[in-house]
């Protein structure tokens, strides 16, 4: 696949590997000294190959991508190793040559599409810039024509209209497609993607992932796909490299690494994933014990040593561990000196199964709850026409129940109204209609200031963003202590302190953390403090709003395990709000699926995840990547974007994107509730027996 | 085929053994920590040195000043710098025992002002005036501004509208006219200064605080406090305000400088502290008439004000620079 740029230079080898990284070392030079971010990293990407780079936060994968582009910022530097692009050592390139390589031969797609596009230029102008800059002979008309063709290639509807639009006028998924189009316009030899879909909804993500795969196949562009999501890597890549704390831990083809991992860290990572087959009671997740080492405190020898079950003093901490080839597969390597000694089949770390909790009586019941936000249009035209107030219909007609000791999951993408529901429940907002009965009293219109202390203490929340959930100016002990005192659990100073320490023990944090400030804690630790704070007043219901979305995979497993433990301890009802169906399937007893403010489906977990499906649930299930090679998924891609909540479609809200739309009836009439005998409720016009005859979306190889 | 490829090239960076990068020890954190931080920006260090110089001068005024600031010597009226006191000059005091003659000797290092007082001594004692009243007035302005900003930013709604309009009104009012209004209503005193400075500064502070609060009120920890039924005052002062201190500290340094200038202006206009208080603004006002023939008596107070304000500005800039560094 020849690049449109001038032909290969004398020292280039266009037939060899596109990218060869050897013993790369990158360090950041900060006020505190030299902090090594990447140590001894080697990778080869061949032409037309898609390689995944997987790791948790702080492992150095984004730094590698920046290093390839030589864009390390003011205090980062490559201190060792070489990067060869098409045979040429990039360290020998002059700034002018580097500029020609960037954008033309190596293109990069970043995480935040809105940040990657210039908000003051039209999309057409930005796209046309690419060929105009990098190809001296290109005319404006030609550049424009190529841009339009590329927009059609990335499956964007109405490319001509998009050329004249500004980035803020299109949705997040469309923006990311535009960024990908920009990256591919110069026909690069290598495409770097740094978490391109993390900021997008699951159903939008599925579309982007499919697009990337198709384009890579068609144009033969090599790809380096960086992500923390193992399921995505499974879907898109041929080979994968797992990084841990700045080093490559394991490398090989997808089948090798996912099917026969030979590094204890990779093994541990798979044990943390909520794949189908894991159950919170029968087969709980096994978190990796210990903590990620700080960059300036890495242990001698193997970085993973302190957390490894197979650690052997003297061998694993003797000196730097090299990457060793794993026989018999070619190209499969692991940074473990004991890979061939450990009996992988026998040493499956499994946690002991737990007794399922029996649900009690109903503690929380929503009955036709409605929440509309007024939007005041103060323009003269609106006042004259009489439509000065419109309503954002955030929640419409919500009806469901939650029992004691149960975990109810509310699932939906952004804009579905789940966060609004949480706010009404907590008293930060008031419902406009309907009832929300908690312990016999209707709290739908009662703001938190008018609730009794007992009610306030009985209903607490765990928040999404661990960095924002704690006040940076107060110590951990002060914050938890304040909650204990305020909710009346204890009064006397000594007893409050004792309770704070007891809570820290429950969330498995060292007691010394009482005097630490949030900036000295990691994300997972902060979330643990958030959980301790929520349970400080002995609540009856805990609302967890996406508590693990912002955390790494191994930390997610630990925090979900902690939530389960706390629930057992205090007989609490857990209301779990999430968009991550994998975690929901693992954790929840009952599932409520929301779309655009309405409930589409509700039932027990087993019922919702098996046919009959609501068409939206079916699409959602098919979009969630699963990191298990034995699982086969049906592919359903939703067309179109989420409709506006100001003006939701009449009839069924999902009809604008539904792949199983019946016709006019879906557009005009609201769908009726259909119930199975076991209480599984669906809101769809398609008759129940037809829905029950659907193929299951997820099938394990055994079936 | 089993291939044991051991990389014989050692990684270029030897993995640092734990603790190779020194961390701040707990005992440093107290005083040396912030000072060491200042050393990272030459501007912050220079500014801090200038301000510290004047603070020291103010503290050690009785020791440093060669003459009492209100002592007038007829022979030294408008004397140029480095004029020695003539032989035989004495201060005469009429007491019950008769006339007491106290001889005076030495040199007026920076010259004498329009009524024969030592400029250097007045400069030194003037530092006291400025360094007491400027921080006091600024602190008072901050108290009002923070209160208004917190309430406006947290409560929003009609309170925000009313407070914002009030602050707009005050900001739009010409400051000098305001000063004149104050002086026609009240006599010259320290209270004038505090009032004038509060009026001039509080609206600006209110805007800054309001902006910070608008951002901070959306954080999850504020929502956590609300969902456990904390009162609005608690949330404003305990949850939100401590997290706004960064930009406010930088602003405070700058505003101290503006307040110093304000005190100087007030003194020059004949407002503020009454004579014979040796503050720099008064000095410039009193010696205005001789400015062309004996510039030293107005020049040195100007240099004093400029250097203090410059020091405060540099400190503010330097602090901002440090906060942006890694």
Position A483 pLDDT exceeds 80: yes
Q: What is the pLDDT of residue B2?
A: 36
A13 pLDDT tier (thresholds 50, 70, 90)? low
Q: Do A25 and B1 touch (CB under 8 A)?
A: no
Position B125 pLDDT exceeds 50: yes
CB of A515 within 8 Å of a chain B CB? The answer is no
Q: How far is A27 from chain B (nearest CA, A)?
A: 9
Strand-strand pairing, A190-194 and A222-227: parallel
Which residues make Cβ contacts (< 8 Å) with residue A525, sequence separation at least 6?
A509, A513
Q: How far is A305 from chain B (nearest CA, A)?
A: 14
Name the 3-class secondary structure at A228.
coil
Name the A residues in 465-484 with CB < 8 Å from any B CB: 465, 468-474, 483
Q: How far is B45 from chain A (nearest CA, A)?
A: 17
Q: Do A25 and B13 touch (CB under 8 A)?
A: yes
Find the CB nearest B11 among A39, A451, A471. Answer: A39
**With DSSP H G I counted as helix, E B as strand and the rest as coil, what are the percentages for chain B, rounded to 5?**
65, 5, 30
Position A252 pLDDT exceeds 60: yes
Angle between helices A553-570 and A523-534 (to 10 degrees): 20
Counting one residue from chain A and one from chain B, the pairs whose CB atoms sit within 8 A come to 119
Residue to mutate among B227, B236, B248, B326, with most A CBs inside 10 A, is B227
Strand-strand pairing, A190-194 and A106-109: parallel
Percent of chain B residues past pLDDT 70, beyond the cut: 88
**pTM (predicted TM-score):** 0.80
Q: Do A457 and B228 touch (CB under 8 A)?
A: yes
Find the CB nearest A471 among B17, B21, B243. Answer: B243
Chain A residues lying within 8 Å of B321, measured CB to CB = none
Q: How far is B14 from chain A (nearest CA, A)?
A: 9
Q: Do B5 and A460 touch (CB under 8 A)?
A: no
**With DSSP H G I counted as helix, E B as strand and the rest as coil, what are the percentages for chain A, rounded to 5?**
35, 25, 45
Q: What is the pLDDT of residue A481?
A: 93
Find the CB nearest B12 among A23, A486, A537. Answer: A23
CB of A486 within 8 Å of a chain B CB? The answer is yes
B19 pLDDT tier (thresholds 50, 70, 90)? very low
Chain A residues lying within 8 Å of B229, measured CB to CB = 448-449, 451, 453, 456, 486
Q: Which of A1-5, A216-220, B250-254 has the highest mean pLDDT?
A: B250-254
Q: How far is A290 from chain B (nearest CA, A)?
A: 17
Chain B residues lying within 8 Å of A469, measured CB to CB = 220-221, 224
Name the A residues in 272-331 with CB < 8 Å from any B CB: 296-300, 320, 322-325, 327-328
Q: What span, in angstroms and rounded, lies between the C-alpha atoms of A494 and A486?
A: 15
Q: How far is B242 from chain A (nearest CA, A)?
A: 6
Chain A residues lying within 8 Å of B23, measured CB to CB = 32
Q: Do A325 and B2 touch (CB under 8 A)?
A: yes
Residue to mutate among A244, A473, A536, with most B CBs inside 10 A, is A473
Residues of B with CB under 8 A from a CB of A: 1-7, 9-13, 15-23, 40, 219-221, 223-224, 226-230, 239, 242-243, 245, 325-326
Q: Using the CB atoms, write b or e for B20-43: b if 16+ within 10 Å.
A: ebeeeeeeeeeeeeeeebbeebeb
Strand-strand pairing, A50-54 and A239-244: parallel
Chain A residues lying within 8 Å of B325, measured CB to CB = 31
Q: What span, in angstroms and rounded, lies between the C-alpha atoms of B304 and B282?
A: 13
Name the 3-class secondary structure at A444.
coil
Average pLDDT over residues B265-294: 82
Average pLDDT over residues A537-552: 87
Q: What is the pLDDT of residue A650?
A: 85
Sequence length of chain A is: 703
Q: Do A456 and B325 touch (CB under 8 A)?
A: no
Closest CA to B251 of B138, B83, B113, B82: B138
Strand-strand pairing, A631-633 and B98-103: unpaired
Which residues make Cβ contacts (< 8 Å) with residue A364, sequence separation at least 6?
A401, A402, A425, A436, A437, A438, A541, A573, A575
B189 pLDDT tier (thresholds 50, 70, 90)? confident
Average pLDDT over residues B181-202: 79
Q: Nearest-CA residue of chain B relative to A488?
A: B228
Q: Do B12 and A79 touch (CB under 8 A)?
A: yes
Chain A residues lying within 8 Å of B18, measured CB to CB = 296-299
Q: How many CB atoms lie within 10 A of CB A692?
A: 12
Q: What is the pLDDT of residue A702?
A: 59
Closest CA to A45 of A329, A239, A261: A239
Q: What is the pLDDT of residue A59?
A: 85
Q: How far is A457 from chain B (nearest CA, A)?
A: 7
Name the 3-class secondary structure at B273.
coil
Q: Do B220 and A468 touch (CB under 8 A)?
A: yes
Position A571 pLDDT exceeds 80: yes
Q: What span, in angstroms and rounded, lies between the C-alpha atoms of A662 and A655?
A: 9
Q: What span, in angstroms and rounded, lies between the C-alpha atoms of B269 and B263?
A: 10
Residue to mutate among B17, B21, B237, with most A CBs inside 10 A, is B21
Q: What is the pLDDT of residue B240?
A: 93
C-beta separation of A545 from A463 below 8 A: yes
Q: Do B7 and A23 touch (CB under 8 A)?
A: yes
Residue to mutate among B229, B234, B235, with most A CBs inside 10 A, is B229
Q: Nearest-CA residue of chain B relative to A460?
A: B227
- Residues B56-87: tens digit of each pLDDT: 999 998 888 888 888 888 888 888 888 888 88
Q: Nearest-CA residue of chain B relative to A534?
A: B224
Position B25 pLDDT exceeds 70: no
Structure tokens at A674: 């259909």
From residue A535, alpha-carbon distances to A266, A423, A566, A585, A616 in Å are 33, 18, 8, 24, 34
Residue to mutate among A44, A72, A296, A467, with most B CBs inside 10 A, is A296
Give the bridge partners for A601, in sequence order: A593, A682
From residue A53, alpha-carbon distances to A40, A41, A192, A555 in Å are 15, 11, 10, 19
- Residues A284-308: tens digit of each pLDDT: 888 888 778 877 778 888 888 888 8
Residue to mutate among B2, B4, B12, with most A CBs inside 10 A, is B12
Q: Do A469 and B221 touch (CB under 8 A)?
A: yes
The ipTM (two decimal places) reads: 0.79
Percent of chain A residues past pLDDT 90, beyond the cut: 25
Chain A residues lying within 8 Å of B10, measured CB to CB = 320
Q: What is the pLDDT of residue B34?
A: 65
Q: What is the mean pLDDT of chain A?
A: 86
Order of strands, sheet of A441-442, starting from the edge strand that comes earlier in the sequence = A389-403, A362-376, A433-438, A441-442
CB of A33 within 8 Å of a chain B CB? The answer is yes
CB of A487 within 8 Å of a chain B CB? The answer is yes
Q: What span, in angstroms and rounded, lies between the C-alpha atoms of B111 and B75?
A: 11
Q: Nearest-CA residue of chain B relative to A33?
A: B21
Residue A444 backbone dihedrals phi, psi, to 5 degrees: -60, -35
A35 pLDDT tier (thresholds 50, 70, 90)? confident
- The larger pLDDT score, comparing residue B273 to residue A570, is at A570
Q: Do A469 and B1 touch (CB under 8 A)?
A: no
Concatenate the DSSP letters of all residues of A629-671 into one string: TTEEE------S-PPPTTSPPSS-TTTTT-TT--SHHHHHSPP
């Amino acid at each position: 696949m020849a690049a449109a740029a001038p032909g290969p230079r004398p020292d280039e080898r266009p037939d060899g590997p596109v990218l060869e990284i050897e013993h790369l070392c990158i360090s950041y030079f900060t006020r505190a000294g030299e902090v090594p971010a990447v140590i001894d990293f080697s990778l080869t990407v061949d032409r037309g190959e898609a390689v995944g780079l997987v790791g948790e936060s702080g492992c150095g994968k984004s730094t590698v991508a920046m290093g390839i582009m030589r864009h390390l910022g003011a205090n980062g530097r490559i201190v060792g190793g070489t990067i060869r692009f098409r045979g040429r050592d990039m360290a020998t390139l002059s700034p002018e040559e580097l500029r020609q390589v960037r954008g033309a031969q190596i293109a990069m797609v970043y995480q935040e599409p809105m940040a990657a596009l210039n908000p003051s230029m039209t999309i057409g102008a930005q796209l046309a810039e690419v060929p105009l800059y990098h190809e001296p002979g290109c005319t404006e008309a030609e550049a424009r024509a190529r841009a339009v063709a590329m927009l059609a290639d990335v499956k964007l509807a109405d490319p001509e209209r998009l050329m004249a639009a500004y980035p803020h006028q299109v949705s997040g998924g469309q923006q990311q497609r535009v960024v990908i189009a920009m990256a591919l316009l110069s026909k690069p030899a290598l495409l770097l993607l740094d978490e391109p879909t993390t900021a997008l909804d699951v159903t939008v993500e599925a579309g982007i992932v499919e697009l990337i795969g198709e384009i890579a196949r068609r144009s033969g562009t090599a790809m380096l796909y960086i992500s923390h999501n193992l399921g995505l890597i499974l879907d898109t890549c041929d080979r994968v490299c797992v990084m841990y704390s700045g080093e490559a831990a394991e490398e090989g083809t997808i089948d090798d690494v996912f099917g026969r991992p030979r590094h204890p860290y990779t093994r541990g990572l798979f044990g943390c994933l909520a794949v189908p087959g894991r159950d919170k009671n029968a087969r709980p997740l096994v978190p990796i014990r210990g903590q990620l080492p700080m960059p300036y405190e890495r242990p001698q020898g193997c970085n993973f040593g302190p957390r490894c079950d197979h650690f052997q003093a003297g061998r694993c901490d003797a000196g730097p561990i090299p990457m060793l080839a794993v026989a018999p597969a070619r190209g499969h390597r692991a940074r473990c000196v004991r890979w061939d000694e450990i009996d992988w089949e026998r040493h499956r770390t499994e946690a002991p199964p737990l007794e399922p909790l029996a649900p009690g009586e109903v503690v929380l019941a929503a009955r036709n709850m409605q929440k509309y936000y007024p939007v005041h249009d103060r323009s003269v035209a609106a006042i004259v026409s009489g439509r000065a107030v419109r309503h954002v219909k955030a929640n419409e007609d919500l009806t469901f129940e939650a029992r004691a000791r149960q975990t109810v999951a509310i699932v939906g993408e952004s804009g579905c109204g789940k966060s609004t529901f949480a706010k009404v429940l907590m008293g930060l907002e008031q419902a406009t209609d309907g009832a929300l009965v908690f312990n016999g009293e209707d709290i739908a219109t009662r703001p938190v200031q008018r609730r009794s202390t007992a009610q306030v203490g009985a209903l607490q929340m765990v928040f999404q963003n661990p960095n924002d959930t704690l006040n940076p100016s107060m110590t951990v002990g002060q914050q938890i202590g304040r909650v204990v005192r305020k909710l009346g659990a204890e009064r006397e100073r000594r007893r409050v302190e004792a309770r704070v320490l007891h809570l820290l023990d429950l969330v498995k944090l060292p007691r010394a953390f009482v005097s630490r400030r949030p900036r000295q804690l990691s994300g997972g630790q902060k979330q643990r403090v958030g959980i301790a704070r929520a349970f400080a007043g002995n609540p009856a219901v805990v609302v967890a709003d996406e508590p693990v979305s912002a955390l790494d995979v191994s930390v997610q497993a630990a925090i979900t395990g902690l939530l389960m433990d706390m629930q057992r301890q205090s007989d609490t009802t857990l209301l779990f709000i999430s968009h991550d169906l994998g975690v929901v399937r693992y954790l929840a007893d009952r599932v409520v699926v929301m779309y655009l403010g309405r409930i589409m489906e509700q039932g027990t977990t087993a019922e919702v995840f098996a046919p009959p499906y609501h068409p939206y649930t079916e699409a959602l299930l098919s979009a969630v990547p699963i990191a298990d090679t034995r699982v086969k998924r049906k592919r359903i891609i939703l067309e179109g974007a989420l409709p506006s909540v100001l003006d939701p479609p009449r009839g069924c809200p999902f009809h604008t994107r539904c792949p199983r739309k019946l016709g006019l009836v879906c557009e005009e009439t609201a769908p009726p509730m259909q119930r199975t005998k076991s209480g599984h409720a669906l809101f769809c016009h398609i008759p129940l027996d037809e829905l029950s005859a659907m193929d299951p979306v997820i099938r394990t190889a055994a079936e | 085929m089993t291939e044991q490829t051991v990389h014989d090239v050692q990684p270029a960076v030897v993995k640092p053994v734990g603790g190779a990068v020194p961390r701040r020890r707990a005992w440093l954190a107290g005083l040396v920590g912030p000072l060491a931080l200042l050393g990272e920006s030459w501007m912050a260090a220079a500014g801090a040195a200038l301000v510290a110089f004047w603070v020291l001068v103010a503290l050690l005024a009785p020791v440093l000043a060669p003459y009492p600031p209100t002592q007038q010597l007829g022979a030294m009226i408008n004397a140029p710098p480095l004029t020695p006191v003539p032989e035989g000059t004495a201060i005469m005091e009429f007491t019950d025992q008769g006339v007491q003659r106290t001889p005076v000797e030495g040199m007026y290092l920076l010259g004498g002002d329009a009524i024969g007082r030592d400029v250097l001594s007045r400069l030194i004692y003037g530092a006291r005036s400025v360094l007491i009243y400027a921080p006091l007035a600024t602190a008072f302005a901050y108290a009002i501004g923070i209160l208004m900003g917190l309430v406006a930013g947290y409560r929003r709604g009609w309170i925000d509208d009313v407070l914002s309009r009030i602050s707009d009104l005050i900001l739009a009012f010409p400051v000098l006219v305001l000063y004149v209004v104050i002086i026609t209503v009240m006599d010259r005193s320290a209270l004038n200064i505090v009032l004038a400075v509060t009026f001039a500064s509080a609206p600006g502070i209110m805007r800054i605080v309001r902006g910070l609060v608008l951002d901070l009120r959306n954080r999850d920890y504020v929502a956590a406090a609300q969902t456990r039924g904390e009162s609005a005052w608690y949330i404003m002062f305990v949850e939100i305000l401590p997290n706004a201190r960064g930009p406010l500290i930088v602003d405070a340094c700058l505003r101290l400088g503006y307040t110093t200038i304000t005190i100087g202006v007030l003194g020059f206009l004949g407002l503020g502290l009454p004579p014979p208080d040796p503050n720099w603004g008064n000095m410039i006002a009193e010696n205005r008439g001789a400015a062309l023939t004996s510039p030293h008596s107005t020049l040195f107070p100007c240099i004093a004000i400029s250097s203090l304000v410059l020091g405060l500005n540099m400190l503010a800039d330097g602090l901002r620079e440090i906060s942006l560094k890694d």
